[in-house]
Amino acid sequence: MAAFADAGRGVGILLCTQPHARIHALASAGVLGLGCWLGISASDWVALVIAMALVWVSEAINTALEAVVDLASPDFHPLAGRAKDVAAGAVLMASIAAAVIGALIFVPAWLAR
At 34-55, the pLDDT tens digits run 999 999 999 999 999 999 999 9
**Separation of alpha carbons 32 and 34, rounded Å:** 6
At 92-112, the pLDDT tens digits run 999 999 999 999 999 999 999
**Separation of alpha carbons 87 and 58, rounded Å:** 8
**Separation of alpha carbons 25 and 40, rounded Å:** 20
At 42-91, the pLDDT tens digits run 999 999 999 999 999 999 999 999 999 999 999 999 999 999 999 999 99
**Torsions phi, psi for 76 (to 5 deg):** -60, 135
Active-site option among 35, 59, 94, 95? 59
| Domains delineated in the chain | 41-113 (1.10.287.3610)
Q: Let me know if 59 is a catalytic residue.
A: yes
